Chains A and B, each alone.
Chain A
Amino acid sequence: MTTITFIHPDKSSQTVDAADGDSLMLAALTHGVDGIVAECGGNAVCATCHVYVDDAWAAKLDPVSDDEDALLDGTAAERLPNSRLSCQVKVQPSLAGLVVRIPDKQS
Chain B
Amino acid sequence: MNPTGLSGAAVAPAIPHLAIDPFSYAFFDDPYPAHQEMREAGPVVYLDQWNVYGVARYAEVYAVFNDPLTFCSSRGVGLSDFAKEKPWRPPSLILEADPPAHTRTRAVLSKVLSPAVMKRLRDGFMASAEAKVDELLARGSFDAIPDLAEAYPLSVFPDALGLKPEGRDHLIPYASLVFNAFGPPNELRQQAIERSAPHQAYVTEQCQRDNLAPGGFGACIHAFSDSGEITPAEAPLLVRSLLSAGLDTTVYGIGAAVYCLARFPDQWARLRADPSLARNAFEEAVRFESPVQTFFRTTTRDVELGGIVIPEGEKVLMFLGAANRDPRRWEQPDAYDVARKVSGHVGFGSGIHMCVGQLVARLEGEAVLTALARKVGSITMSGAPKRRYNNTLRGLESLPVTFTPA
Interface residues of A (CB under 8 A from B): 29, 37-41, 43, 45-47, 67, 70-71, 73-75, 107
Chain B positions 339-362 with a Cβ under 8 Å from a chain A Cβ: 341, 343-345, 348, 350-352, 354, 356, 358-359, 362
A67 to B106 CA separation, bound complex (whole angstroms): 12
A38-B343, A41-B343, A41-B344 known; A47+B115 contact, CB < 8 A: yes
In the assembled complex, the CB of A87 is this many whole angstroms from the nearest CB of chain B, namely 10
Using A74-B114, A74-B118 as known contacts, list a sample of 4 further A-B pairs with CB atoms less than 8 Å apart, ordered by residue number in A: A39-B362, A46-B359, A47-B115, A74-B116
Q: Is the interface of A mostly helix, strand, loop or mixed?
A: loop
Check A29 against B116 for contact (C-beta < 8 Å).
no
Known A43-B350, A45-B110; contact A37-B115, beta-carbon cutoff 8 A: no
Nearest residue, chain A, Cβ from B348:
A40
Q: Which of B115, B279, B344, B348 contacts A71 (CB 8 A)?
A: B115
- Interface contact A73-B356, CB-CB below 8 Å: no
Is residue B84 within 8 Å, beta carbon to beta carbon, of the partner chain?
A: no
> CA separation between A73 and B283, bound complex, in Å?
23
Q: How far is the CB of A47 from chain B (nearest CB, A)?
A: 4
Given contacts A40-B348, A45-B359, contact A71 B341 (CB under 8 A): no
Verify if B89 is at the interface (C-beta below 8 Å from A).
Answer: no
Chain A residues with Cβ under 8 A from B114's Cβ?
Answer: 70-71, 73-74
Once the chains are docked, how many angstroms separate the CA of A71 from the CA of B116?
7
Could you say which residues of chain A place their CB within 8 Å of the CB of B279? 107
CB-defined contacts of A71 to chain B, threshold 8 Å = 114-115
Interchain CB contact under 8 A, B341 and A45: no
The answer for the CA separation of A73 and B279 in the assembled complex, in Å, is: 20
- B residues near A73, Cβ cutoff 8 Å: 114-116
| B358 close to A40 (CB less than 8 A) | yes
Inter-chain contacts of B350 with A (CB < 8 A): 41, 43
Indicate if the CB atoms of B115 and A46 lie closer than 8 Å. Answer: yes
Partner of A75, one of B110, B115, B343: B115
A35 CB to closest chain B CB, in angstroms?
11
Given contacts A29-B343, A40-B348, A70-B111, contact A45 B117 (CB under 8 A): no
Report A78 CB to chain B, min CB distance, Å: 12
Chain A residues near B345: list those with CB within 8 A.
41
Q: How extensive is the interface on chain B, given as a class?
A: 20 to 34
Q: How far is the CA of A74 from the CA of B113 in the complex (A)?
A: 11
Closest Cβ–Cβ distance, residue A34 to chain B (whole Å): 9
In the complex, 13 of the A-B residue pairs with CB atoms within 8 angstroms, ordered by the A residue number, are: A37-B343, A39-B343, A40-B348, A40-B358, A41-B343, A41-B345, A43-B351, A43-B352, A43-B354, A70-B111, A70-B114, A71-B115, A75-B115
Contact A74 B343 (CB under 8 A): no
Which 6 residue pairs spanning A and B have beta carbons closest together? Answer: A74-B115, A74-B116, A47-B115, A38-B343, A73-B116, A41-B344
Cα A46 to Cα B119 in complex, Å, equals 12
Query: Nearest B residue to A50 by beta-carbon distance?
Result: B115
- Chain A residues with CB under 8 Å of B116's CB are 70, 73-74
Residue of B nearest to A29 (CB): B343
Q: A71-B114, A74-B116 are in contact. Are A45 and B343 (CB under 8 A)?
A: no
Residue of A nearest to B116 (CB): A74
Bound-state Cα–Cα, A43 to B347, Å:
14
CA distance A107 to B358 in the complex (A): 13
Asked if B354 contacts A40 (CB within 8 A), the reply is yes
Which single residue of chain A is at the shortest CB-CB distance from B366?
A107
A31 to chain B, nearest CB (A): 12
Contact B119 A45 (CB under 8 A): no
Least CB distance, B178 to chain A, in whole angstroms:
22
Contact: A74 with B119, CB < 8 Å?
yes
User: Hey, which chain B residues are within 8 Å of A107, CB to CB?
Assistant: 279, 362, 366
Q: Give Cα distance in the complex from A46 to B354, angstroms.
A: 11
List chain A residues, Cβ under 8 A from B341: 29
Report the Cα distance A71→B341, complex, angstroms.
Answer: 22
Chain B residue nearest to A44 (CB atoms) is: B110
Alpha-carbon distance A47/B110, docked complex (angstroms):
12
Q: A residues within 8 A CB of B343? A: 29, 37-39, 41
Of the candidates B344, B354, B366, the one whose C-beta lies within 8 Å of that of A45 is: B354
In the complex, which residues 94-119 of chain B have their Cβ closer than 8 Å to any Cβ of chain A? 107, 110-111, 114-119
Bound complex: CA of A44 vs CA of B264, how far in Å? 33
Return chain B residues, CB-CB under 8 Å to A43.
350-352, 354
User: B345: nearest residue on chain A (CB-CB)?
Assistant: A41
A45 touches B118 (CB 8 A): no
Residues in B whose Cβ lies below 8 Å from that of A39 = 283, 343, 358, 362
